[in-house]
Chains A and B, each alone.
Chain A
Amino acid sequence: MAYQLYRNTTLGNSLQESLDELIQSQQITPQLALQVLLQFDKAINLALAQRVRNRVNFRGSLNTYRFCDNVWTFVLNDVEFREVTELVKVDKVKIVACDGKNTGSNTAE
């Protein structure tokens, strides 16, 4: 089972909302929606692993950190994200990171 981590992204949330609308109008069953989401998890994990090839650097100050259930959650302040092409600055960012080593066994978000 792939990580369900990416469901809380623009792509994932828009999919969930669309599925919810179809469930509301009773065009699909919740079970079917779940299947779609599981398929989405696989697809996005695969796509990120294979089709993305860029690096980002960032620097900031660490406000909080948490490590629970093998999931790191950080909150950073005054962060600069630097890519070759552009620079993005934010006042506050939350980073949620699942374990990248064994991606096949964990289903936690």
Chain B
Amino acid sequence: MASSTNTNPVPKLYRSVIEDVINDVREVFLDEGVDEQVLMELKTLWENKLMQSKAVDGFHSEEQQLLLQVQQQQQQQQQQQQHHHHHHHTQPQPQQTVQQQSQPQQVLIPASQQAPQQQVIVPDSKLIPHMNASGMSAAATAATLALPAGVTPVQQILTNSGQILQVVRTANGAQYIIQPQQPVVLQQQVIPQMQPGGVQAPVIQQVLAPIPGGLSQQTGVIIQPQQILFTGNKTQVIPTTVAAPTTAQAQIPAAGQQQPQQQQAQPQAPLVLQVDGAGDTSSEEEEDEEEDYDDDEEEDKEKDGGEDGQVEEEPLNSEDDVSDEEGQELFDTENVVVCQYDKIHRSKNKWKFHLKDGIMNLNGRDYVFSKAIGDAEW
């Protein structure tokens, strides 16, 4: 990863900027009465995000860089002995008993990056093999779900009943909460992030609803930014943004009605919410209620395609895209150069650029320059 022959100036530059900023704001933090701990947390968050972006080869210090190289060597030796190591992409041992993770895990959720508030549907069938009675590890989530790039570490929260809630934060601040499955009473802990005061975070909940028959039913639920109030046996979902899909609104009241039926003996209400549309092996009651909301569900509309009004939309949609094809690059990053100009010159259609003090992100990697000279024809 780190180029040893060419001294890449970027990590050192970033290191120095981070140090300068942290040191300069320390006084501001103290003036505002904010603890030094928070300042350190800022620094850690900052560095972690940099590391995760893989745009730089940055590490905390050169010492740790050497440490990491030693660790990698040790890991390679141990690789055959133990089939797990600290690497991101492998599946470590089940971590249900680990309350705190020492190293970040990258969790993958199959969601598009374009719409940060897009609904992510977790199909039940994929989750079943990864969910056993003892719970689900973070890596199992990684196998089934795929997050957009820039996901911050998964945090595990211990619930009242001892279950591990996994909280994943994405780059845009959205938080996903993944609950493991257990064939026992599922108690809804008041998740710290969920406050009636107003936390908007898409919530992914795999909720287990114990059916009187003894079987456990999984549902994957993604709820768009809404406030979910846990009040006794009822869960009320209050949409706080316009972007909340109607499906979620439609399904949640429906599921909320079913909950009291299934939770007679439970003091707290587990969520049994199904917002992933029709097509799964749910009970008939749910299907009937889904059909009632078919007209409101955009997804079903698109799937059917033959309803009145749908035919008119398709030709219209196809004419929307007039712009150039933007998916040319393999990478999602748009290559950007942010800099200052000394002189911009044009002669007929020949342009000359004299730029300085720039930061470039090309093909996902960061570069810097003090001077850049370029030519282009328009």
Give the interface of A toward B (CB within 8 A).
Answer: 3, 5-6, 8-11, 14-15, 17-22, 24, 27-29, 31-32, 35-36, 39-40, 42-49, 51-63, 65, 67, 72, 74, 76, 79, 81, 83, 85-86, 88, 90-101, 103
Contact = CB atoms under 8 A, between A and B. Distances in A.
Contacts of A18: 42, 45-46, 49
Contacts of B373: 55-58
A61 B369 contact: no
Interface string B1-27: 000001001000110111011001100
A29 B361 contact: no
Given A56-B371, A96-B338, A103-B340, A36 B14 contact: no
B254 interface: no
Nearest to B54: A10
A83 B372 CA distance: 9
Contact of B374 (A39, A46, A60): A60
B357 interface: yes
B375 A90 contact: no
A9 to B, nearest CB: 5
Contacts of A29: 32
Main secondary structure of the interface of A (DSSP, over half): mixed
A72 B368 contact: no
B363 A88 contact: yes
Contacts of B335: 90, 92-94
26 contacts: A9-B366, A10-B53, A10-B56, A14-B49, A32-B28, A32-B29, A39-B21, A40-B21, A42-B24, A43-B21, A48-B357, A51-B13, A54-B371, A58-B374, A61-B377, A81-B362, A85-B6, A90-B363, A91-B329, A93-B337, A94-B335, A96-B336, A96-B337, A97-B339, A97-B355, A98-B339
B49 A100 contact: no
Contact of A92 (B24, B49, B56, B334): B334
Interface of B: 6, 9, 13-14, 16-18, 20-21, 24-25, 28-29, 32, 34, 38, 41-42, 45-46, 49-50, 53, 55-56, 169, 171, 173, 199, 326, 328-329, 334-342, 344, 349, 351, 353, 355-363, 366-378
A57 B376 contact: no
B55 A59 contact: no
Contacts of B41: 22, 27
B34 A6 contact: no
Contact of B16 (A47, A67, A76): A47
Contacts of A85: 6
Nearest to B170: A17
A36 B361 CA distance: 23
Nearest to B29: A32
Contacts of B46: 14-15, 18
A65 B351 contact: yes
A35 B25 contact: yes
Nearest to A32: B32
Contact of B378 (A59, A62, A94, A96): A62
B356 A100 contact: yes
Given A52-B370, A55-B372, A72-B341, A45 B357 contact: yes
Contacts of B375: 58-59
A99 to B, nearest CB: 7
